[in-house]
Structure 1
Amino acid sequence: MVRLRPGAVMLLLDRETVQRVYPVSAAIPVMAEAMRRYSGGRAAQPLRTIVRPPHETGLLGSMPGHVAGEQHAGFGVKVMALKPENPARGLDLHIGMVIVFDPDTARPVGLLDAGAVTAVRTAAVSAVATDALARPDAGDLAVLGSGTQARSHLRAMREVRELRRVRVWSRTDAHAYAYRDWAAAELGIEVEVTAGPREAVTGADLVCTTTGSTVPLLDAVDLAPGTHVNAVGSSFPDQRELTAEAVARAELFVDSRESALAESGDIRAALDHGLAPPEHLRAELGEVLLGRHPGRSGPDAVTVYKSLGLGVQDIMSGFAAVEAARSQGLGTTFHLD
């Protein structure tokens, strides 16, 4: 566990350092434990606070919390601003920081690039959900979107399933082809570019939606029996990637009941249209991992894991990355006194 000793310093971890010390292979077991602790009542966190001024295109979100446990535990917070104009500027859509605090003294022990933390922890949780909910033989992957999460999810999916085929769709053809070239060069994975979302998912048994779309991209008829979907991109009530019918048809799992019912446009639409009651939400992922719910009901079930993102994921990732950086002698030191 990270503990600040007299004369110690806080570590500053930039994007490159976070990516180096906390790859998705290391993040997956940490995130599995994060979900167990959350559903097991060992994490305290409010719903995230969003500041969205009426004449501002962006927003500011904060996700504070506390995690109990012997490792990767303590207070922490993620503060992140979202600027939709940033990708056109060559900048990340999300800009922010994760701060973690010594569990004994409450002095800060780490300040980390939140974009890098978010990219890896989100994909790692999807990998945990895939391992728990997808069929063991799932390996025909469709990715909707071509940005940071689309790339991190391809890395994560290959950690938990043997990928036989990969297809991608993006609103911008050039971005889809850039994704294809990146996958070949960086991962040695051949990716097929498709003309639309339906073409991408036809025949797929594993789907990752990473778009942040405000209109549904997939309907119930698009998802073949046995498919598992990681619905990641729509993180606000005004965003949707799945139709209400698709949500109502699926066996639905979430990271947090509270967050999903309050913040997910995908789930709210199904509830508001009367297609699915709140009880349609089968379980939290952590409840499946704790053995409190069996998960997928059978090989032909369509399962959806709706990811909103939780502070516990950022906090435990922050502690894990700081510990790894300390052990490798990496990061920039900042003297607190």
Structure 2
Amino acid sequence: MGRVRILSEADVKSLVTPLEAQEAVEQAFQDFANGISRMAARVTVTIPDIIGNMRILPAVKVLPTPRPIPPTRGYLGVKIYTGYVGPVFKDLTKDRFTVLLYDMNDGCLLAIVAARWLGALRTGATAAVATKYMANPGARTLCVVGAGEQGETQVISLAAFLKPNRIVIADSIAANRDALVSKLLAGGLKVEGVDAIEVGVRAADVICTTTTSRNPVIQKEWLKPGIHINAIGANVANRREFPADVIKSARVVVEYREQALQEAGDLVVAIKEGEITPDVIAAELGEVVTGAKPGRSSEEEVTLFKSIGVAIEDVSVAGLVYEKAVAKGVGTVVEM
């Protein structure tokens, strides 16, 4: 039987930096746009008699970063995780997020990778890639709305790439905001908290929204001309962080059109209510990365990247984690 490497949350955190994750994700979107790799939209299976589900994200022929020449190795992978409603889902002592990584050449299982932090890291990395191609070059003020785990990795990833002069954290729950500000300050980042979301948004050149709100938390009149938005929350069809007038007035880019039209609440709700049509999507991120379509058309244009998380993000970062783990001898290797 084959040997499989098991990588824990601590292993993942120790092996990959935000900038390395960004490089892997950017390459993955380029490969997807060029038809090298493939993925399927998220499959969600509800659990009978329990308010929960299992979700599956598969991707194939995801090539490693840095890229070997010629590219003789690559990965197949699937992220599997469960979603439950209530306190049970917030119990961080239990693992519900996993990536299974396979050898592209023979289909053999290579690694089982803990993926809670990996998921947050790749989301931040993807937002950084979108910001690279969609924000104005002079953007230096960042506002993150939502002070949970995703908010943390948005700050870490955007700070590494954007190097902003000012980072503002906004959250309607003061205790969450203050806790994240303290954590980031302790980690060496210069951040500040604000009481009102509007105050942070009005000052920003780039905003990242990471809430679980079912109703809009941002208003169009708060947005300055030329602002770039990474809309990370509202990743299920009945939630929305932005009203339809923001979506209609912005250049909208998504990761994967098929999945976005199924899951991105900011789009799905507005389409169902007849406020917008699917044509509001200007491009997929891979098309922007490859230069097939522009990320913005002018300095004054408002740009919006609607992220819901797709398979190539997880598998590309998991592949990077695995390669670094092998090189450094990290993880537990078992016979299956």
Identify the TM-score tier after normalising by the shorter chain: over 0.9
Q: How far did 1:8 drift? A: 6.3
Supply the distance in 1 between the matched residues of 2:303 and 2:90 (Cα, whole angstroms).
37
Distance in structure 2 (CA, Å) of the matches to 1:326 and 1:222:
48
Q: Does 1:231 align with 2:231?
A: yes
Change (3 A) 1:261 1:154: same
CA–CA separation in structure 2 for the residues paired with 1:63 and 1:126: 19
Alignment of 1:46 with 2:35, yes or no, is: no
Contact kept? 1:150, 1:210, Cα under 8 Å: yes
| 8 Å CA contact 1:117, 1:318 repeated in 2 | yes
Corresponding residue number in structure 2 for 1:332: 332
State the Cα distance separating 1:289 from its structure 2 match: 0.9
- What residue in structure 2 maps to residue 285 of structure 1? 285
In structure 2, what is the Cα distance between the partners aligned to 1:59 and 1:221? 37
8 Å Cα contact 1:248-1:270 kept in structure 2: no
Work out the CA distance in 1 between the residues paired with 2:21 and 2:216.
30
TM normalised by structure 2 equals 0.92
Amino acid at match of 2:116: G
Instruction: Report the AA paired with residue 225 of structure 2.
Output: P
Partner SS, residue 283 of structure 1: strand
How big is the shift at 1:173?
1.0
Q: How does 1:165-180 map to 2 (within 5 A)?
A: 165-180=166-181
Deviation of the 1:234 alpha carbon: 1.4
Distance 1:68 1:48 in 2: 17
Q: Report the equivalent of 1:129.
A: 130
Alignment of structure 1 residues 155-194 onto 2, 5 Å: 155-191=156-192, 193-194=193-194
Task: State which drifts further: 120-129 or 168-177.
Answer: 168-177
Match of 1:96 in 2: 97
Tell me, in whole angstroms, the C-alpha distance in 2 between the residues paired with 1:215 and 1:93.
30
Match of 2:255 in 1: 255
Letter in 1 for 2:294: P
Deviation for aligned residue 1:148: 0.9
Aligned CA distance change for structure 1 residues 64 and 144 (closer, same or farther; 3 Å): same
Count of residue correspondences: 329
Q: Please name the residue that 1:202 is paired with.
A: 202
- Offset at 1:244? 1.2
Give RMSD over aligned pairs: 2.0
CA 1:149–1:65 in structure 2 vs 1: closer, same or farther (change >3 Å)?
same
CA drift at 1:265? 0.9
Structure 1: distance between partners of 2:47 and 2:106: 36
For 1:13-162, what aligned pairs fall within 5 Å after superposition?
13-53=7-47, 55-69=49-63, 70=71, 73-86=74-87, 90-91=91-92, 95-162=96-163
Q: CA 1:202–1:82 in 2, change beyond 3 Å: closer, same or farther?
A: same
8 Å CA contact 2:170–2:177 kept in 1: the answer is: yes
CA contact (8 A) 1:84 1:93 kept: no
Report the CA distance shift for 1:34/1:295 in structure 2 as closer, same or farther (over 3 A).
Answer: same
Which segment drifts farther, 196-205 or 69-78?
69-78
Q: CA deviation at 1:113?
A: 0.7
Cα deviation for residue 54 of structure 1 reads 6.2
Q: In structure 2, list runs of 5 or more residues that go unmatched.
A: 64-70
For 1:71 and 1:275, the matched residues in 2 are separated by 48
Q: Which residue of 1 aligns with 2:68?
A: none
Q: Deviations over 1:66-118 (max 9, x none)?
A: 12542773221110112343478652798221001112221111101121210
SS at match of 2:155: helix
The yes-or-no answer on 1:275 pairing with 2:275 is yes
State how far apart, in whole Å, the 1-side matches of 2:305 and 2:255 are. Answer: 8
Residue range with higher mean Cα deviation, 309-318 or 62-71: 62-71
The question of whether the paired residues in 1 share the 8 Å contact of 2:257 and 2:284 is answered with yes
Shift of 1:31: 0.2
SS of equivalent residue, structure 2 residue 187 = helix
Q: Which residue of 2 aligns with 1:4?
A: none
**Cα distance change of structure 1 residues 87 and 62 upon mapping to structure 2, 3 Å threshold:** same
Aligned partners of 1:147, 1:313: CA distance in 2, in Å? 20
User: Are residues 16 and 157 of structure 1, via their aligned partners in 2, closer, same or farther at CA, if it must alter by over 3 Å?
Assistant: same
- TM-score relative to the length of structure 1: 0.92
Cα contact 2:226–2:301 (8 A) shared by 1:
yes
Does structure 1 retain, via aligned residues, the 8 Å contact 2:62–2:312?
Answer: no
Partner of 1:243: 243
The residue that corresponds to 1:3 in the other structure is none
Whether the 8 Å CA contact 2:58–2:311 is kept in 1: the answer is yes
Q: Does the residue aligned with 2:203 lie in a helix, a strand or coil? A: coil
- 1:244–1:273 Cα contact (<8 Å) kept: no
Structure 1: unaligned runs, 5 residues or longer: 1-6
Distance in 2 separating the partners of 1:205 and 1:93: 37
1:251–1:302: 8 Å Cα contact kept in structure 2?
A: yes
Amino acid at match of 2:308: L
Specify whether residues 30 and 92 from structure 1 end up closer, same or farther in structure 2 by C-alpha distance, changes over 3 A only: farther
Change (3 A) 1:227 1:145: same
